Amino acid sequence: MRYLTSGESHGPQLTTIIEGLPAGMPLHDTDINNELARRQKGYGRGRRMQIEKDTVEIVGGIRHGYTLGSPVGLVVENNDWKHWTKIMGQEPLAPNEEDEVKRKVTRPRPGHADLNGAIKYGHRDMRNVLERSSARETTVRVAAGAVAKKLLKELGINIASHVTEIGGVASSVKAYDSLENLKEITENSPVRCLDPEAEKKMMNAIDEAKQQGDSIGGVVEVIAEGMPSGVGSYVHYDRKLDAKLASAIMSINAFKGVEIGIGFEAASKPGSEVHDEILWTEERGYYRRTNRLGGLEGGMTTGMPIIVRGVMKPIPTLYKPLQSVDIETKEPFTASIERSDSCAVPAAAVVAENVVAWELASAIVEQFYSDRFETLKELVEQQRTFAREF
């Protein structure tokens, strides 16, 4: 499966085309809209999230509630476009309109794509960079992920996420009864955190950052239960599922690190406290006493829950001055802001969940025959039985 996205932050719409989905899979726009709404929530978001109420329009590949096997086209309109039609329009501008209309950006923000993108593509107006490097694009990545999530759900694979740290405040709740229970708690938490004490402190930290014109980052954890064992492969570097998951997390705007299972903690522990002992019962087949390696060994699933964490740096657009240089005058200046969030970690957890869903669904579609969804379902079930009886 693959998808491309197109669209600028203040353009008319964001678009994605998904290719490679099986035919006969149920899919409704509500499956996607639920995920889009989850991405827009979260304590610490700025005004943009009040302007945009994202909803998807399915423009291809679905008939009467089922995929056709043809590419699925999804469109999310930018409600703010009406205020940007001149600034972001496709028509050439008359020379006398240039300065007035373009809202030209010549002051790069440290930590954003502005300066490097301008140098790379030769843009003297960095709006040409920031309109696409903006995390607004994650809207359609979530839309594509929502489709993948639907596929996983139909195959009995459940996926969720939670925020484990914001601005140095860590959640101390690591256990949860079930993924459903985790979802229930996090959906009602403004910061998507399992720990009510930490939740309050995280919200205070966000308020404080906002007051000081600053921003804060954090850590999110994604969990997927129900993956059959043996998905992915050890035989070649580009088929390793852990590598694909790491790449997916790192591709989210502002993500600077990934861990699978206990991750970096493994550096300070002996092997006997890292590797997951193998047990067997007739009823369950093979399983592990622990799940420190986060459901992945040798680039393949073990059948235990997949656990992937990602760290998000603080958002680069600050109200608090940071020094930079105007590319026209070469004069130093401090701070120029587009509208900005002070913390987007809760939203980023939803993005992470959806990009992980995409990789897991793609790995399944790649590994099993997947033209017909009903057959794919049977094959995944067969793989579970095979692994249990092996």
Ligand X SMILES: Cc1cc2nc3c(=O)[nH]c(=O)nc-3n(C[C@H](O)[C@H](O)[C@H](O)COP(=O)(O)O)c2cc1C
129 binds ligand X (CB under 6 A): no
209 binds ligand X (CB under 6 A): no
Cβ–Cβ < 8 Å for 144, 211: no
Is residue 288 a known part of a binding site?
A: no
Sign of the CA dihedral with 268 first, then 217, 346, and 83 last: negative
Q: Smallest distance, Å, CB 254 to ligand X?
A: 4
Nearer to ligand X, 33 or 233 (CB): 33
Token reading at 367: 């590994």
Cβ–Cβ < 8 Å for 380, 367: no
Is residue 315 a known part of a binding site?
A: yes
Q: Give the integer Cα–Cα distance in Å for 34 and 38.
A: 6
Nearer to ligand X, 133 or 229 (CB): 133
Q: Smallest distance, Å, CB 351 to ligand X?
A: 5
Is residue 124 a known part of a binding site?
A: no
Nearer to ligand X, 304 or 308 (CB): 308
Nearer to ligand X, 134 or 291 (CB): 134
Is residue 317 a known part of a binding site?
A: yes
Q: Which of 186, 340, 362, 367 binds ligand X (CB under 6 A)?
A: 340
Work out the number of other CB atoms within 10 angstroms of the CB of residue 116.
Answer: 12
Choose the binding region for ligand X from 5-13, 83-91, 130-138, 172-180 (rule: CB under 6 A).
Answer: 130-138
Helix, strand, coil % over all residues of the chain, rounded to 5? 40, 20, 40
Sites for ligand X among residues 33-52 (CB under 6 A): 46
Which residues 6+ apart lie within 8 Å of 14 measured at CB?
Answer: 5, 6, 7, 75, 76, 78, 136, 137, 139, 140
Classified as helix, coil or strand, 349 is helix
Cβ–Cβ < 8 Å for 204, 216: no
Q: Give the integer Cα–Cα distance in Å for 88 and 85.
A: 5
Q: Smallest distance, Å, CB 235 to ligand X?
A: 31
Is residue 39 a known part of a binding site?
A: yes
Cβ–Cβ < 8 Å for 273, 259: no
Is residue 223 a known part of a binding site?
A: no
317 binds ligand X (CB under 6 A): yes
Which among 218, 159, 161, 65 is positioned nearest to 359, based on CA atoms? Answer: 159
133 binds ligand X (CB under 6 A): yes
324 binds ligand X (CB under 6 A): no
Sites for ligand X among residues 346-385 (CB under 6 A): 347-348, 351
Q: Give the integer Cα–Cα distance in Å for 205 and 198.
A: 10
Contacts with ligand X, 245-284, as mask; x by CB under 6 A: -------xxx------------------------------
Q: Give the integer Cα–Cα distance in Å for 178 and 32.
A: 23
Instruction: Please report which helix (H) or strand (E) contains residue 94, including its range.
Output: none
Nearer to ligand X, 48 or 388 (CB): 48
Classified as helix, coil or strand, 256 is strand
How many residues lie near ligand X (CB under 6 A)?
A: 19
* Bridge partners for 307 per DSSP: 223
Contacts with ligand X, 74-113, as mask; x by CB under 6 A: --------------------------------------xx
Is residue 33 a known part of a binding site?
A: no
Is residue 224 a known part of a binding site?
A: no
315 binds ligand X (CB under 6 A): yes
Nearer to ligand X, 72 or 356 (CB): 356
Work out the number of other CB atoms within 10 angstroms of the CB of residue 245.
Answer: 26
Q: Which of 344, 355, 357, 365 binds ligand X (CB under 6 A)?
A: 344
Binding site for NADP(+): what residues are annotated?
39, 45
Binding site: what residues are annotated?
39, 45, 132-134, 253-254, 298, 313-317, 339
Binding site for ligand X (CB under 6 A): 46, 112-113, 133-135, 138, 252-254, 315-317, 340-341, 344, 347-348, 351
